[in-house]
Amino acid sequence: MKKRFHSVAVVFVAVAMAFFTVSSLSAQSAADRGFAEERFRRGVQAFYRGAFNDAVLQFEDALTYMPDENRILEWLGKAYYRAGMEDAALQEWNYAARNGYGGQLLQNIIEIVSVRRIFTGDYGEDGRFVESGSFPAVEGNVLHYSQPVAILPNTDGSFWVSAYGSNELIRVNVNGFVVERKKGPLNGFDRPFDLLRLTNGNIVVSEFAGDRLTFVTADGDFIKSFGSKGRGDGQLLGPQYLAQDSNGNIFVTDYGNRRVAVFSEDGDFLFNFGEFKSPTGIAVYADSVYIADSYYGCIYTYDLSGNYEGVFVPDETFENPEAMRLYKDGLLVCDSSKLYSVSIATGAPVLVADTGNGPSHITCAEEDANGNIIAADFKANELYVLARMPELIGGLYVEISRVNADNFPNVDLEVRVENRRRQPVVGLTDINFFITEDKYAVTGQKLTGSADLNDNCDVTVVIDRSTRMKTHEADVQYAVREIAAAMGGKGTMRIVCSGNIPTSEIIANPNELLNFTMKQIKTEYSDVCSTDLAIRLAANDLVNGEHKRAIVFISDGSVTNGAFSNYTLADLSAYLNNNGISFALVSTVQQASSAEISYITENTGGSSYYLYRSEGISSIVKDFLAIPTGIYTLTYTSGMATDFGRSYLPVELEIYLLNRSGRAETGYFAPLE
C-alpha cells in the first residue's frame, strides 16, 4: 500500500508541475502579446506622424515578442516602404504573404512595387491603348454635346472639348460629366474646331465657319477674336488645326486657302506659307513645323519662317490624317479610326490604338493628366478614354498614407492614388471614393480636399558646401533670394547645407529670406560632402509639410567622392517618390550635372535649371505647383468601439474610376482614454 501511495503522489506532483509550467507559459505568452501590442500601437502612431525610422524600430521590437505576427510584418513593410527601403519592404510583405496573410490585396501591392523598381517606361507590345471608357454625346433623350472635334487637357484631370455641332466649348471631368459650358462671344462661336493653350495660359479657338480665331481665358471666357473671311493677308477660309512655337507665334492650317497662316501671340498677322492640297494637322517641335496633308496622306516639314525642309512621312502612309499633337519624343497622329505615334528621329509610325471597324473618324487625341489618351470621334459623336492594357488589368495603386483620429469619432484620411507607373491620378471627386470600417459603410463620408488644387508649397534648399563652391557664394545667395521671391510668402522655406556633416540651418517664411546672405550659413566648406545624408535630412522635414513639396539642390552640378556612400540612388529616389517630394537642381554653371544628380532629378519628376538662363529661375515654384500629386483628404464618422484607445480600428477604402478600381486597407488607434 505504501508503495502504491508513493506512486500516486509522484503522479500528482508531476501533473502539478506540468500545470504550473503551462500556466507560466500562458502568462509569459500573454505578457509577450501585451508588450507587442503596446509597441505596435506606438509604431502605428509614429508612422502617421511621419517618423518612419521610429516606426521601424517599434515594429521590429514588437516582432521580438511575436515574431510571426503577420499584421506587424505588414506594417513593418509599410514603414520600410515610406522610408525608401523598398527591398526591405518587399521582404516583409512576401514573408507575410507566404504565411497566407493579406490575400489578393497584398499580392497586388507586392506586384506593383516590384514592377516599379524595374519599370523602364516602355510597355512594349502591351503599350497599345484600349478603350477604358466612353462619354457619348446623347444618353436617352439628353444631348450633352454634338460633333466633338478637339481635346485640350487640363492639369486637374478634366479637359476642354470643342463641340462643332453644338457651337460651344465644354469642360468634362474624369467621370465624364460636363461641368462647364462656354458659348464664346455675344454672337456665339461659329463651328469651333481646334483648341490650343498658349504659353501665357490663354486658349485660342479656331472657328471653321466663322473664318476667325478667338482668344478665351483658361476658364473659357471670351477675350477677343481676330482674322476675317478672305484670301488676303490675315484672312482665313475654314481655319482648322493650331500650334505655337517657342517665340509665341500661332500657326493655323488655313484649309480653304490651302496654306498655313501665322499670327503673333497677340493676334497680329505675320505671314502665310506653303501650297498644300489639303492641309490638316500641324505641330511644332524644336525648330521645325510639321504639317499633315490629308489628300496625300503624308507629313511635310518647314522651318519656323515657313521655308520648306522636306517630306517627313511619305505619301500614302496615312489614310486621312487629322490632328497632330506632341507625344513623348514624337507626334500623336489621328488617322480615321487609328492613332499612330510617329518618332521625330525616324519618322516611323507605330500603331498606338484602333477604335475598330465601325463608323469612326477620330479628329483629335491627346494625353490627359492621368496618362490616358482622350480621343474625339466626330463621326460616332463620342469621346473615348483610352488606357494601356496593363493599367486596366492591374488597377490603381491606392495608399492610405495618414489617419488622424485626434477628434474621434471624426476621422480624417490622407489618401494617395497612382497608376502602376507611379503617375498620380488627379481630378477624382466624392463619387470615386467608398470608405468602410471592417467592411461596413461609414457615415458622414466627405471629400474635403485635393492637394492638386493647392497654390502653395514647401521648399527645402540644399546648399552644396564642397570646397569648389567657395567661388560661387554670390551665385548661391542670388539663387536663394530668387526662390524665396518665387514662393510669394506662401509655405515654409528651409535651408540645409551639404557638408561633411549635413546641417539644418534655417526654417522661415520665404519673405524672411528675400535678403538672404551667405553670412547666415554656419556649415564649413569640406572636401567631402555627404550629399545623400543632406537629401535625407531635407526630406525628413518635408514629410509633414505641405502636400506640394520639393528639394532644390544649389550646386555646380558635380559631387565629391563618397557623396552617395550611405544610401543608394534607388533608395533615395524611392524615399522622395513615396513621400511626394520632387527634386530639382539649380546649377551655378552651364554644364551637365553628375550622373547621380541627374538620376535623382529624372526619377522624381523634377528638372534642372541653369541659374542665369535667359528666363531666370522664377518659374521654379510654379513648376513645382504644376507637378500632380494625386493626394486627397477625406473625413468620416467612425462607429467603432475603441476599448479606451487600445483597440486597433480597421478602415478600408475603394476607388472606382470608369473601368478601373483600386483598394487599400489600414488601421489606426483612437486617443487613449
Which whole number is the average pLDDT over 305-325? Answer: 96
- Report CA-CA distances (Å) from 305 to 197, 251, 263, 298: 21, 11, 12, 21
What's the pLDDT at 141? 85
Query: Residue 581: what pLDDT?
Result: 95
Which percentage of the chain shows pLDDT scores above 90?
85
Q: Which cell goes with 332?
A: 500623336
**What is d(CA 663, CA 193) in angstroms, rounded to the nearest whole number?**
40
Q: What is the pLDDT of residues 204-220, one digit of tens each?
A: 999 999 999 999 999 99
Q: Give the model's pLDDT for residue 328.
A: 86
Per-residue pLDDT, averaged over 105-118, amounts to 89
C-alpha cell belonging to residue 617: 529661375
Give the model's pLDDT for residue 122.
55
Angle between helices 569-577 and 595-602 (to 10 degrees): 30
Give me the percent of the chain exceeding a pLDDT of 70.
94
**604-661 pLDDT tens trace:** 989 999 999 988 999 999 999 999 999 999 999 999 999 999 999 999 999 999 889 9
Mean pLDDT (the chain) is: 92
pLDDT of residue 359: 84
**Range from 107-121, 144-158, 338-352, 465-479 carrying the lowest mean pLDDT:** 107-121
End-to-end Cα distance, the chain = 62
Handedness of CA 67, 70, 73, 79 (dihedral sign): negative
- Give the sign of the dihedral formed by CA 380, CA 381, CA 382, CA 383: positive
Assess whether pLDDT exceeds 70 at residue 15: no
What pLDDT does 388 receive? Answer: 86
d(Cα 364, Cα 550) in Å, to the nearest integer? 35
pTM of the predicted model, to two decimals? Answer: 0.88
pLDDT of residue 356: 79
Rounded Cα distance between 298 and 526, Å, is: 59
Three-class SS state of 117: helix
Q: How confident is the model at residue 120 (pLDDT cuts 50, 70, 90)?
A: low
- Helix, strand or coil for residue 224? strand
Q: Give the model's pLDDT for residue 29.
A: 82
Q: What pLDDT score was predicted for residue 673?
A: 86
pLDDT of res. 127: 65
Q: Which residues of 235-263 are buried (b: 16+ CB within 10 A; e: fewer)?
A: bbebbbbbbbbeeebbbbbbbbbbbbbbb
Please provide residue 482's backbone torsions phi and psi, each rounded to the nearest 5 degrees.
Answer: -65, -40
The span from the CA of 615 to the CA of 370, in Å, is: 29
Q: Is 594 left (phi over 0), alpha (psi -120 to 50) or beta?
A: beta
More confident residue, 142 or 311: 311
